[in-house]
Amino acid sequence: MVKGLCRKFNALLRKEAVHENEPQRILFLLRIILLILGLYFLIIPLVFCIVGPKTEVWTGYIFAAMSVAAFYATYRLKVHTSVLVCSGLQLAWIIVFVILYGWDCGIQHLMFEMLVLVYFAVNSLVYKISYTAVLFAVRFSLFLYCRVNISVFALTETATVVLQIINTIVTFVLMAVACSMFSSNVESAEKKLVLYNEQLKKQAGTDPLTGL
């Protein structure tokens, strides 16, 4: 029964979008990222209930619901639009989190995973440069904001350390998932190219009539 559920779940993740000729590996990656984010958004309120503060914990539930909506949207939208939705969700969370709880929580590190995702998923150089500039501007603006203003909620040292650990783990997990997915694509393409070159060498050195 467990294997059957796993197969159905895998089939759900790999289900094609309504649009034709869309890169399915990127869709698969986006859905995995959104599932991880949804779980992360649900964990954060529980963490706050343990280490505090116990205010505004509903924010995590709202973003969890948004991640579910973004997950569903991957079956309806084009890949580039889905990438934009996923990035927008993460960027909104970063901004809200930094304003509420400050810079020391480490949530801003999530921007590095966002860069990796877009640079591998999008081919347009102009889009990549523009995206990088926007992320830099947002990160720098949040840094300046935290230098001038205090966070809405004061965190204890324990809460800051716990959040820093969780946010760092989530960032590295998301980066590992994205990099492993795209590196496997490169390795697969390289193997196919090597086999194709070997076939060409064999054909070039073989007489088609005698087989010598």
DSSP collapsed to 3 states, 27-38: HHHHHHHHHHHH
Check if the beta carbon of residue 16 is closer than 8 Å to that of residue 31: no
Percent of the chain with pLDDT over 90: 40
Buried b (16+ CB within 10 A) or exposed e, 108-145: bbbbebbbbbbebbbeeeeeeeebeeebeebbeebeee
151-163: per-residue pLDDT in tens?
A: 888 888 888 999 9
In sequence order, what are the residues at sequence separation of 6 or more whose Cβ sits closer than 8 angstroms to the Cβ of residue 82?
Answer: 17, 27, 30, 70, 73, 74
Peptide bond into 53 cis (omega under 30): yes
Nearest to 105, CA basis, from 157, 63, 32: 157
Q: How far is CA 152 from the centre of its chain?
A: 27
Number of C-alpha atoms within 13 angstroms, CB side, residue 66?
18
Check if the beta carbon of residue 64 is closer than 8 Å to that of residue 42: yes
d(CA 100, CA 123): 35
Q: What is the pLDDT of residue 187?
A: 44
Nearest to 123, CA basis, from 24, 23, 12: 23
The pTM of the whole model exceeds 0.75: yes
- Position 19, amino acid: H
Percent of the chain with pLDDT over 70: 84
Q: What is the pLDDT of residue 180?
A: 84
Question: What average pLDDT does range 180-187 have in this prediction?
Answer: 63
64-76: per-residue pLDDT in tens?
A: 999 999 999 988 8
Question: What average pLDDT does range 105-125 have in this prediction?
Answer: 87
